[in-house]
Amino acid sequence: MNVLWLQSAGCGGCTMSLLCAEAPNVFDTLGDGGVSFLWHPSFSEATGAEVLALLGALESGEIPLDALCFEGSVATGPRGSGRYHMLAGSGRAMLDWVRALAPRARHVVAVGTCAAYGGVTAAGGNPTGAMGLQWDGRQKGGVLEGGFVSRAGLPVINVAGCPTHPGWVTETLLMLADGTLGAQDLDGYGRPRFYADHLVHHGCSKNEYYEYKASARALCEIGCMMEHLGCVGTQAVGDCNTRPWNGQGSCTSGNYPCIACTAPEFEEPGHAFTQTPTIAGIPVGLPSDMPKAWFMALASLSKAATPKRIDVNAHSDRVRIAPAPRGQR
Amino acid sequence: MTRKLLVGPFNRVEGDLEIQLTVEDGRVSAARANSPLFRGFEMMLQGKPPSDALTLTPRICGICSVSQSKAAALALGDALGAWMLPQGALAAAILHGVENLCDHLTHFALFFMPDFARPVYAGRGWHDRAVSRFTATRGAALRPIVEARAQLFHIVGLLGGKWPHTLAIQPTGVTRAPDARDRIRIQTTLRAARRVIERELFGAAAEPFAALQTVAALESWPGGDAALFNEISADLRLDTLGVGPRRYLSCGAYPLDSGRVTASGVWENGAVSAFDPAAVQEDLSHAWMLGDAAHPAQGATVPDEDMAGPAYSWCKAPRLAGRTVEVGALARQAVDGHPLAVALASEGSVRARIGGRLLEVARLLTWLDRWAAALEPSARFMGDAPATADGAGAGLVEAARGTLGHWLRIERGVIASYQIVAPTTWNFSPRDAGGVPGPVEAALVGCPVGDAESTPVAVQHVVRSFDPCMVCTVH
């Protein structure tokens, strides 16, 4: 499966994250699985005129395109011209290029939340009119039509995340090359279900604190961050805590909140990222599939039952009281 | 004979880049660097809670994300009267040092060296080795370096949750207090990475490389890809190619309790003078921006939707006391007074920039070892979060590619103004009102261009020697 990778209105961080693929390294992971790059902006030799010739041959269909991977959102401004990103050397807006190339591709993969939904580039009033390929935030219809399907019959595959986990990208591409990723394998926002069927909450190292609503009040405390510090790991899709990042990491194990970076419009939560908004003292945004009254009842019970060990540790920067082994209590 | 060339998309840099060249009699007579992407982070941040800068600004750049994060944390701290606890600053230095080290590795193996494997150099004495080591995506040097880089980022995973886009660095320290086991893991990862870097890059221990005093000693360095680069450089005369302004700025890298690890200053003609951040001004005459030249604390970002001439880039043109400066590893090491870097700074060439970066790789390995050993797992790593108050502040750090500054103003509890000057904003700035070209534009003048070349290879060497990060440049 050949891949053309283009970058536009994003930070390049999804490629930088991809280069962190391990066991084996990114080149072997993809190469051994039959994924080859026609061109990638960060590691291909071809530059300038060589690339423009390739893009022309892909646009005309002279070279068949198996997968178009697109990283970054597409700037549609100013005034719908897309001129906030003219692809260098080409005299054409990236907006124009993506609309020309996407219909040629067997598969179109949006790499990262920017490419999927607009992402951070669409934050704060969206100064450049940034959109995702097939989505504009939660609305279907981005720079491609809402009903777009690629030559293989799939919508844009949204490997959302800010950044994306290298495993999400490599496994999506390997499944496409293997012919084992179909429409039924994508969720309602076009995300591969192999990681979107999980919640960041699953396997979170703070689960014991969550059970008792033993809540951290500052980012250096190790308690649960849902009640005060903006953590939405109970609602955010991603296998971040069961398949860690960069060896052993995750946002919550780094002691800062999950901000649901795999979700459309995560960039505009309507409040400070690290602060949980409350209504009458009750945090908004409780787990989405649990009746609120039940949640409140269980939370007040468990809070009342919080062991001293958990209460003290939740408000410390490390474990102050160790669990006492059986026989030493 | 005069001809014009438009070079792009210019890859193996971070982000998109277009260079316009005027070529006369086989040499570049004028160059214009266009940063073709505008996103408007400075506009997005207005009206946001100040702490949101810590989430949003790292996402300016996927390759210097920790640098952006740290600049934001320092700027917020400056505005709110808060500072990092000593051990928090140390942990932040480790996070930042790992990113800078990894960026240098990425640049050397993935971005810069693959150009020497191009067929245009077939027949040169070193070409077969360049092909075998550095052919893009396939060369033998790429895999161990990419793997070492991925493993080094385990340190960021451990201390900072993930890379890029950690939220671990805060104005008063870092969110996660490492324990004794974390400290040992960090040291173990550093030792493993050192083994690969020493074997591949230096062919020897890093310390003797870090101790090189003269250009002659660098040129006779016998081992690793550093020696291969020397051989290529001598053959292609990279010591005379792409000479920059030879005026260098560094704000000093890695603020610790004991001060910054490298010196702050402006290097010119062998002398270092103090860096006065008040002397920074961003000129808009050739940027698609509306407004007048201003210091970043008073500056604004208003894009010109008409993209009217004579502007030709979204990049503003920062000047220090009205003049261009080059930033980066070479600048940092020269300002710090390292004898080899000082000698290379006078040369100011493609070779000098690569030499400066290799020197910094060697020095960083030692610094990271020292910082990891100094972690005290019983200490506090983050102080109380400062109360939001109105105020103004600046955060200056040294990203891999050079001096990065954030300037913000908080009014009525929200961000009223946020301005960013990134390393590549300095290096790839367009002309200013006086018509003075930016550093890379000037460095390209005189560059040889073959009659049949449409994407001149020497131009590629010069541009990539700066290790530009175009997504930071305009932000």
Segment A74-132, tens digit of pLDDT = 999 999 999 999 999 999 999 999 999 999 999 999 999 999 999 999 999 999 999 99
Residue in chain A nearest B131 by alpha carbon: A45
Interval B145-158 mean pLDDT: 98
- The per-residue pLDDT for range B262-278, each reduced to its tens digit, is 999 999 999 999 999 99
Which of B4, B6, B11, B472 is the best substitution to test chain A (most A C-beta atoms within 10 A)?
A: B11
Confidence of residue A329 (pLDDT cuts 50, 70, 90): low
Q: Does residue A294 sit in helix, strand or coil?
A: helix
B149 touches A238 (CB < 8 A): no
* pLDDT given at position A326: 83
What number is the average pLDDT over the span A283-293?
78
pLDDT class for A221, splitting at 50, 70, 90?
A: very high
Measure Cα distances from B475 to A210, B421, B468 in Å.
Answer: 38, 9, 13
Bridge-based pairing state of the strands A65-71 and A2-7: parallel
The candidate with the shortest Cα–Cα distance to A25, out of B149, B198, B260, B207, is B149
Is pLDDT of A287 > 90?
no
CA distance B77 to B1: 56
Name the token pair of B232.
């290529």
**Minimal Cβ distance to B39: which of A9, A13, A46:** A9
User: For chain B, how are helix, strand and coil distributed in percent, rounded to 5?
Assistant: 45, 20, 40
Q: List, in order, residues 6 or more apart from B398 with CB less than 8 Å away.
A: B67, B100, B250, B251, B252, B253, B254, B262, B332, B404
pLDDT at B464: 98
CA distance B259 to B263: 9
Measure CA B234 to chain center.
25
Please, which residues have CB within 8 angstroms of residue B326's CB and are 6 or more apart in sequence? B244, B245, B246, B247, B248, B249, B348, B402, B426, B427, B439, B466
- What residues in A contact B164, CB-CB < 8 Å? 11, 13, 16-17, 163
8-state DSSP, B279: G
**List of E strands, B25-153:** 27-34
Partner residue facing B471 (CB), from A12, A78, A317:
A12
Mutate to test the interface with B, among A71, A219, A262, A265 (most CBs of B within 10 A): A219
DSSP A63: S
* Reported confidence tier of residue A160, pLDDT bands at 50, 70, 90: very high
**Average of per-residue pLDDT across B295-323:** 98
CA A103 to the chain's CA centroid? 24
At residue B1, the pLDDT reads 82
Contacts for B164 with CB less than 8 Å, ≥ 6 apart: A11, A13, A16, A17, A163, B58, B61, B62, B63, B65, B66
For residue range A13-36, list pLDDT tens digits in order: 999 999 999 999 999 999 999 999
Pairwise CB contact (< 8 Å): B11 & A120 = no
Amino acid at the residue B149: R
- Residue A288 pLDDT > 90: no
State the Cα–Cα distance between residues B341 and A204, nearest whole angstrom.
Answer: 47
Instruction: Return the sign of the alpha-carbon dihedral for residues B71, B267, B32, B353.
Output: negative
Closest CA to B398 of B327, B342, B472: B327
Collect all residues of chain B within an 8 Å Cβ-Cβ radius of residue A79: 305
pLDDT of residue A295: 86
Q: Per-residue pLDDT averaged across B377-387, rounded?
A: 94
Q: What is the CATH number of domain A198-317?
A: 4.10.480.10
Residues A83 and A93: beta-carbon distance below 8 Å: yes
* Lowest-pLDDT range of A286-300, B147-161, B329-343: A286-300
Token look-up 């405390």 returns: A221
Residues of chain B with Cβ-Cβ distance to A121 below 8 Å are 39
* Mean pLDDT for chain A overall: 96
pLDDT of residue B286: 98
pLDDT computed for residue B460 by the predictor = 98
Mean pLDDT, chain B, as a whole number? Answer: 97
Helices (H), A6-139: 13-18, 26-32, 49-60, 94-101, 113-117
Please tell me which residue of chain B has the smallest CA distance to A216: B175
Yes or no: say if B43 and B421 are a contact pair by the CB < 8 Å rule: no
**Residue B379 CA, distance from chain mean position:** 31
Q: Looking at the partner chain, which of A26, A44, A83 has a beta carbon nearest the beta carbon of B136?
A: A44
The pLDDT value given to residue B356: 98
CB contact A90 to B (< 8 Å)? yes
How far apart are the C-alpha atoms of B262 and B260, rounded to whole Å?
A: 6
Q: Average pLDDT of B426-443?
A: 98
pLDDT at B32 over 90: yes
Which chain B residue shows the shortest CA-CA distance from A219? B175
Closest by CA to B59, choosing from A259, A135, A121, is: A121
> Does residue A293 have a pLDDT over 90?
no
Rg (CA), chain B: 21
Domain boundaries, chain A: 2-194, 198-317
The reply to whether A266 touches chain B by the CB within 8 Å rule is no
Give the distance from residue B46's alpha carbon to the nearest chain A alpha carbon, in angstroms: 8
pLDDT at A286 over 80: no
Among A177-181, A214-218, A284-288, B219-223, the least confident range: A284-288
- Asked if residues B316 and B345 have their Cβ atoms less than 8 Å apart, the reply is no
Residue B236 reports pLDDT greater than 90: yes
pLDDT at A292 exceeding the cut of 90 = no
Determine which helix (DSSP H) or strand (DSSP E) holds B472, and give its type and residue range. Answer: helix B470-474
Centroid of chain to Cα B370: 23
Q: Would you say residue A281 has pLDDT above 90?
A: no
Domains and CATH numbers, chain B: 2-474 (1.10.645.10)
Nearest to A185 by CA among A216, A157, A218: A157
B166-210: per-residue pLDDT in tens? 999 999 999 999 999 999 999 999 999 999 999 999 999 999 999
Scanning the structure block, which residue is given the tokens 């971005």? B111
**Which chain B residues are within 8 Å of A83, Cβ to Cβ?**
307
| pLDDT band for position A282 (cuts 50, 70, 90) | confident
- Provide the edge-to-edge strand list for the sheet that holds B265-268: B247-250, B265-268, B271-273
CB contact at 8 A, B352 and B462: no
* Nearest CA-CA distance, residue A104 and chain B, Å: 21
Structure tokens at B4: 């014009």
- What are B87-112's pLDDT values in tens digits? 999 999 999 999 999 999 999 999 99
Q: Where are the alpha helices (DSSP H) in B198-338?
A: 206-210, 215-219, 224-236, 329-335
Which of B249, B304, B280, B361 shows the shortest CA–CA distance to A84? B304
Encode pLDDT of A131-143 as tens digits. Answer: 999 999 999 999 9
Contact indicator for B327, B404 with CB cutoff of 8 Å: no
pLDDT band for position A285 (50/70/90)?
A: low
pLDDT at B396: 98
CA distance B394 to B409: 9
Interface subset of B 99-158, CB within 8 angstroms of A: 106, 110-111, 114-115, 117-118, 135-138, 142-143, 146-147, 149-151, 153-154, 156-158
Assign domain A2-194 one CATH number from 3.40.50.1980, 3.90.650.10, 3.40.50.700, 3.40.1390.10.
3.40.50.700
Write down the pLDDT at residue B387: 86
Q: Say if CB B389 and CB B264 are below 8 A apart.
A: no
